[in-house]
């Protein structure tokens, strides 16, 4: 799992690097900023993952000395340096860009050094028990290697090793060695290379090479003899040194190989000097001698299995043209010369999987050769250099394939001979660095050479896409054991295919190309369960989103076709991501599916508005189109797969519902009691109906909280339907459809909606707002109970009262009293409002407000009403032996008494005050006689 995640991050880094290089070459400023920020985030995320992994390992270790340190400061420095570099780049302050990048690089080096020290501490306990086994292995490796030439490419691990490690080791190991290794720093590998084996010999070789270079330069400038004689003496000295080394190989292998490498390096230098100073005027003669010398180097390296010999000789061959005293090197000659040397590397690596050798070749070719091209290349040389570059790219692609073939063959051979006691750690079959660095750096250099030619850039991307696509097909058919290599090539094929669109058609097709390729990668990665494909696909789709948004908001001409294609691709990506229930290490498939669905709805909405020219009603029409898009997606999911995605679906529906009510505020429906246009009203109605249907038919969740949210959103969606139909009384309209649907659910035994506390809360809130609303109290009022407000209020209250008091609160005992008391109080407000509205209609008394408390007629009516309601409640509860309702009635009587003392007693109207007190007292006497407190359950049991 960890290795796959690491490889996925490497691929994401490669993809972002390609994008950054193309953005720099094509001068796409917004893409450059996005790619740079994405690259920084991925680097920091990779560092954080390594740090987290080390912390987990440190917690498992038994060593108390291991202490993990945070990396928060380093992360802040990296982010800060990246932002400073981008800001400086935008202001063309190149010196500040360089300084910021230097700080970032130093911070990364410090982090890597810290990780190496911590890893060394973790490895220390495992190193101690294996000291004796390693000692015995080193003693056995003292035997000289057989000089026989290998007969096949299937070589063992021992044959691959540099002979520099084949030196006698001490049979006793100091007990402090492991502890000293725990303090290794990042430059320690270079020091170890000099210390182990024979460091004096290596220093001597290095000094001799410097001396030979100085001798050649001095001879070419000062000696009185002819230059041919001078170079001839030096070449003979190199040949004698090589011969001496070959003859001494059985006596001292390491010393012999070093002499041979030194001699061959001297001959390489001499040959290059001779051709440069026209001692060898014929290019053909010089080329033949150079090829012969390369052949001799290859034969000696393979015959003696001496990687060190090949590295020493070929490294000097690479550096020779740069050591000649001249103003600047011939760029075409240098790049072609490197290609000839790389052919020798190909011959060596055809038989031996020497990764170090082809990595040196790649580094020298792309970095040294590329730097020389960038500094000294002339416009007339660009086409020739580009041709040679493509030869290099083809060569290194073949090297990456051949290396994997040799490693697989070697692993198969190793498995045949290994036992349970001598198992060895197998090498990775991929050289990931070479596989992905070749197309990235190669295409970047191609873009530099051909930056003025759109056709050349497009053809280059297409050539790489076709090449990697064909290699993917060939490897799957011929070498199925290299399936991981085939998948890597497939990723590269898709990446370069995605570059064809922006390079060929311009930046406006960038988002289309990326979203199509990203969708294809997501579909393939999920169906084939290939993580790397999903990572790259998600990255491409997200980048396409940024590119499309930038294009939409920056261009005057709206790209309708591109936006529609983008919406469809996002639809497909979201659908397939829902099929992947597992949580990725770096992202959640469900969250990404939601993001892609939002992008799809937004893109489809704005494309539909632009296509139908609905800009005047853009808000309402966009919501309708987005709702219809989500409905289509829900139908497809329900019919095809029946996936459980209730949480994501509820989130999206809730967002649309929020936008829908935001439209009512924007249209001021609750203030003006009308819609500004029929198109807006029709779009709102479509959105409300579709949202309600999706909520009604969606799958229920087993989680109680999710069901509460579902019921609340369904209630709000149903309420919006009434608002679309009857905006003349907006508060009343909100309750029409929910009341009808609640009664339908009650009589059809579909109680999953009406048994939810969230629905009760919204119903009580609606009753409160409706009965306090002065507009609803006076419009369409015919008579008491013969108006919308009274009728809907009483229906809603009656329904809530029956549902709540028949509900089983065993699992929600803490909410029971609060809900029931709130219902009774709201009911008191409902009945009081019926009386207040009737008196206002017939007697012109005030409605709810401060003036109502000073009106004697209204106060008398409310007092008598509340006493009658208390009488009804207490009589009913006494007969049914329901003590809770009796206490509610008693509380209502208490409110009446408080009201009589505080309000009615202060009224100036004597008659109303008298009637209030006498009427209340008479009713209370009747209650005390016919409705006493019901006995408790224990008392009832005793009486029986």
For 581-592, write each residue's pLDDT tens digit.
654 555 677 788
For residue 9, the model assigns a pLDDT of 62
**Best CA proximity match to 495, nearest among 510, 514, 482:** 514
Does residue 443 lie within any of the structural domains? Answer: no
* Token representation of residue 700: 């229920």
Stretch among 373-382, 655-664, 711-720 having the lowest mean pLDDT: 373-382
pLDDT at 179 over 60: no
| Structural tokens at position 899 | 């009201």
Q: Of 84, 105, 120, which residue sits at a domain end?
A: 120
Specify the number of domains making up the chain. Answer: 2
- For residue 168, the model assigns a pLDDT of 35
Is pLDDT at 174 greater than 50 in this prediction? no
- Tokens 């000294």 label which residue? 376
pLDDT at 147 over 50: no
Q: Which tens digit of pLDDT belongs to each residue from 513-526? A: 678 778 887 887 78
Q: Kindly report, residue by residue over 669-702, the tens digit of the pLDDT.
A: 999 999 999 999 999 999 999 999 999 988 777 6
Question: Is 50 exceeded by the pLDDT of residue 262?
Answer: yes
What confidence score (pLDDT) does residue 705 get?
Answer: 82
How confident is the model over 361-401, as pLDDT tens digits? Answer: 888 888 888 888 888 888 888 899 999 999 999 999 999 99
- pLDDT of 105 higher than 50: yes
Query: pLDDT at position 300, please?
Result: 79
DSSP secondary structure letter of residue 369: I
Helix (H, G, I), strand (E, B) or coil at 64: coil
Q: Taking the CB of residue 506, how many other CB atoms lie within 10 A of it?
A: 10
Which of 81, 103, 120 is the C-terminal boundary of a domain?
A: 120
Mean pLDDT of the chain: 75
Residues above pLDDT 90, as percent of the chain: 15
Domain for residue 554, yes or no?
Answer: no
In a domain, 481, yes or no: no
Burial label, 902 (beta-carbon count in 10 A; 0-12, 13-18, 19+): exposed
Is the separation of the CB atoms in 179 and 127 below 8 Å? no
204-238 confidence digits (pLDDT tens): 556 555 666 665 556 555 554 565 666 676 777 77
Query: Residue 801's closest CA among 764, 751, 749?
Result: 764
426: left (phi over 0), alpha (psi -120 to 50) or beta: beta
Q: How far apart are alpha carbons 733 and 773 in whole angstroms?
A: 13
pLDDT tens digit sequence for 724-774: 999 999 999 999 999 999 988 888 877 788 888 899 999 999 999 999 988
- Assess whether pLDDT exceeds 80 at residue 96: no
Task: Please say whether the beta carbons of 916 and 864 come within 8 A.
Answer: yes
Q: Which domain holds residue 866?
A: 859-944
Q: Phi/psi at 451 (nearest 5 deg)?
A: -65, -20
Count Cβ atoms below 10 Å from residue 138 Cβ, excluding itself. 16
- Name the pLDDT band for 527 (thresholds 50, 70, 90): confident
Mean pLDDT of 535-556: 77
Asked if the model's pLDDT at residue 872 lies above 70, the reply is yes
Q: What is the DSSP string of 724-790?
A: HH-TTSHHHHHHHHHHHHHHHHHHTT-TTTTT-HHHHHHHHHHHHHHHH-HHHHHTTEEETTEEHHH
| 822 in a structural domain | no
Would you say residue 489 has pLDDT above 50? yes
> Does residue 914 lie within any of the structural domains?
yes
Residue 420 has pLDDT above 60, yes or no: no
* Residue 783 phi, psi dihedral angles, 5° rounding: -165, 165
- The HSE-up count of residue 785 (CA atoms within 13 Å, CB side) is 3
Distance, CA of 331 to CA of 343 (rounded, Å) = 19
573 and 603 in contact (C-beta within 8 Å)? no
Angle subtended by helix axes 199-221 and 227-247, to nearest 10: 160
Cα distances (Å, whole numbers) of residue 421 to 133, 136, 417, 418, 424:
12, 15, 11, 8, 9
Other beta carbons within 10 Å of 526: 21
| End-to-end Cα spacing for the chain | 72
In a domain, 676, yes or no: no
**pLDDT the model gives residue 165:** 34
pLDDT of 104 over the 70 cut: yes
CB contact at 8 A, 815 and 757: yes
Is the pLDDT score of 286 beyond 70? Answer: no
CA geometry: angle 646, 649, 651, nearest 5 deg: 110
Residue 774's contacts (CB-CB under 8 Å, 6 or more residues apart) are 847, 848
- What is the pLDDT at residue 684? 95
Residue 227 has what pLDDT?
A: 58
Q: Given this model, what pLDDT does residue 228 score?
A: 65
Higher pLDDT, 874 or 508: 874
Cα separation, 587 vs 572, whole angstroms = 18
In a domain, 826, yes or no: no
Contacts of 892 (CB under 8 A, 6+ apart): 824, 828, 866, 869, 870, 873
pLDDT of residue 302: 78
The phi and psi torsions of 782 (rounded to 5 degrees) equal: -100, -50
Query: What percentage of the chain reaches a pLDDT higher than 70?
Result: 71
Q: What is the pLDDT of residue 126?
A: 47
CA dihedral for 710, 711, 714, 719, sign (positive or negative): negative
Is the pLDDT assigned to residue 150 strictly greater than 70?
no
User: What sign does the dihedral 467-468-472-475 (CA atoms) show?
Assistant: positive
- Give the pLDDT score at 813: 61
604 CB-near residues (< 8 Å, 6+ apart)? 563, 564, 567, 625, 626, 629
Kindly report the CA angle at 71 between 70 and 77, in degrees rounded to 5?
A: 145
Domain limit, last residue, from 96, 120, 144: 120
Q: Cβ(478)–Cβ(485) under 8 Å?
A: no
pLDDT of residue 719: 94
Q: Which single residue is written with the structure tokens 């009488």?
A: 871
The answer to whether 532 touches 11, Cβ cutoff 8 Å, is: yes
Task: Convert the pLDDT of each residue in 315-348 to its tens digit.
Answer: 777 877 776 665 567 888 888 888 988 888 888 8
| Domain contains 337 | no
Rounded Cα–Cα distance for residues 792 and 767 (Å): 9
């Amino acid at each position: 799992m960890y290795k796959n995640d690491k490889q996925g991050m490497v691929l994401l880094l490669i993809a972002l690097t390609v994008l950054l290089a193309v953005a720099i070459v094509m001068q796409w400023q917004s893409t450059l900023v996005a790619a740079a920020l994405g690259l920084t985030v991925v680097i920091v995320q990779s560092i954080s993952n390594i740090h987290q992994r080390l912390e987990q390992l440190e917690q498992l270790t038994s060593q108390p000395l291991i202490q993990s340190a945070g990396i928060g400061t380093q992360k802040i420095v990296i982010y800060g340096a990246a932002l400073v570099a981008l800001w400086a780049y935008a202001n063309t302050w190149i010196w500040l860009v360089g300084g910021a990048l230097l700080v970032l690089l130093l911070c990364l080096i410090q982090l890597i050094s810290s990780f190496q020290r911590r890893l060394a501490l973790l490895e220390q306990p495992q190193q101690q028990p294996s000291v004796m086994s390693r000692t015995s292995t080193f003693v056995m490796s003292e035997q000289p290697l057989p000089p026989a030439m290998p007969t096949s490419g299937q070589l063992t691990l021992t044959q691959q090793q540099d002979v520099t490690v084949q030196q006698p080791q001490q049979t006793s190991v100091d007990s402090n060695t492991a502890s000293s290794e725990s303090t290794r720093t990042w430059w320690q590998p270079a020091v170890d290379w000099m210390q182990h084996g024979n460091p004096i010999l290596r220093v001597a070789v290095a000094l001799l090479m410097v001396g030979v270079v100085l001798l050649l330069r001095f001879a070419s400038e000062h000696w009185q003899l002819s230059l041919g004689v001078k170079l001839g003496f030096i070449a003979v000295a190199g040949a004698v040194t090589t011969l001496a080394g070959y003859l001494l190989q059985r006596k001292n292998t390491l010393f012999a190989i070093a002499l041979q490498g030194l001699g061959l390096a001297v001959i390489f230098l001499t040959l290059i000097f001779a051709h440069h100073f026209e001692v060898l005027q014929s290019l053909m003669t010089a080329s033949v001698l150079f090829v012969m010398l390369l052949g001799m180097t290859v034969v000696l390296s393979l015959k003696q299995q001496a990687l060190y010999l090949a590295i020493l000789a070929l490294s000097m061959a690479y550096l020779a043209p740069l050591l000649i005293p001249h103003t600047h090197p011939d760029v075409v000659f240098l790049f072609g010369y490197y290609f000839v040397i790389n052919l020798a590397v190909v011959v060596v690596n055809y038989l031996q999987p020497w990764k170090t050798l082809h990595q040196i070749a790649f580094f020298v070719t792309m970095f040294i050769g590329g730097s020389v091209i960038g500094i000294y290349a002339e416009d007339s040389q660009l086409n020739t250099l580009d041709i040679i570059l493509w030869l290099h790219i083809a060569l290194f692609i073949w090297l990456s394939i051949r290396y994997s073939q040799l490693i697989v063959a070697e692993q198969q051979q190793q498995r045949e001979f290994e036992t349970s006691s001598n198992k060895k750690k197998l090498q990775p079959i991929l050289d990931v660095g070479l596989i992905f660095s070749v197309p990235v750096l190669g295409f970047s250099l191609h873009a530099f050479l051909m930056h003025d030619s759109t056709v050349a850039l497009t053809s280059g991307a297409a050539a790489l896409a076709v090449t990697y696509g064909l290699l993917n097909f060939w490897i799957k058919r011929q070498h199925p054991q290299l399936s991981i290599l085939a998948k890597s090539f497939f990723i590269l094929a898709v990446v370069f295919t995605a570059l064809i669109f922006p390079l060929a058609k311009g930046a406006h097709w960038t988002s289309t190309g990326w979203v199509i390729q990203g969708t294809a990668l997501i579909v393939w990665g999920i169906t084939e369960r290939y993580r790397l494909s999903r990572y790259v696909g998600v990255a491409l789709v997200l980048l396409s989103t940024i590119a499309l948004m930038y294009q939409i908001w920056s261009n005057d001409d709206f790209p309708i076709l591109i936006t529609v294609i983008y919406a469809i691709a996002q639809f497909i990506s979201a659908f397939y991501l829902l099929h992947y229930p597992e949580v990725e290490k770096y992202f959640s498939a469900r969250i990404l599916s939601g993001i892609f669905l939002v992008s799809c709805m937004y893109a489809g909405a704005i494309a539909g508005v632009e296509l139908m020219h609905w800009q005047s009603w853009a808000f309402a029409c966009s919501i309708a189109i987005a709702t219809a898009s989500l409905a289509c997606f829900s139908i497809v999911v329900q019919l095809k797969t029946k996936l459980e995605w209730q949480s994501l679906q509820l989130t999206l529906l809730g967002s649309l519902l929020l936008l829908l009510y935001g439209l009512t505020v924007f249209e001021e429906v609750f203030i003006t009691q009308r819609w500004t246009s029929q198109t807006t009203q029709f779009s709102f109605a479509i959105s409300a109906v579709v949202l309600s249907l999706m909520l009604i038919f969606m799958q229920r969740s087993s989680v109680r909280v999710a069901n509460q949210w579902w019921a609340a959103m369904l209630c709000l969606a149903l309420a919006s339907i009434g608002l679309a139909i009857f905006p003349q009384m907006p508060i009343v309209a909100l309750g029409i459809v929910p009341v009808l649907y609640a009664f339908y659910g009650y009589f059809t035994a579909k109680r999953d909606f009406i048994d939810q506390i969230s629905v009760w809360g919204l119903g009580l809130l609606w009753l409160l707002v409706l009965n306090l609303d002065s507009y609803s109290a006076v419009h369409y009022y015919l008579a008491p109970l013969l108006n919308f407000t009274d009728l809907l209020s009483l229906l809603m209250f009656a329904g809530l009262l029956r549902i709540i008091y028949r509900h089983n609160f065993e699992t929600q005992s803490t909410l029971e009293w609060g809900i029931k008391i709130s219902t009774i109080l709201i009911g008191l407000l409902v009945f009081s409002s019926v009386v207040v509205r009737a008196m206002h209609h017939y007697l012109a008394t005030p409605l709810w407000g401060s003036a109502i408390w000073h009106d004697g007629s209204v106060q008398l009516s409310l007092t008598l009403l509340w006493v009658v309601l208390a009488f009804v409640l207490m009589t009913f509860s006494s007969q049914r032996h329901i003590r809770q309702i009796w206490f509610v009635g008693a509380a209502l009587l208490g409110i009446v008494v408080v009201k009589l003392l505080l309000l009615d007693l202060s009224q100036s109207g004597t008659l109303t005050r008298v009637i209030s007190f006498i009427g209340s007292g008479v009713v209370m006497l009747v209650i005390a006689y016919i409705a006493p407190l019901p006995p408790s359950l224990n008392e009832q049991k005793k009486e029986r």
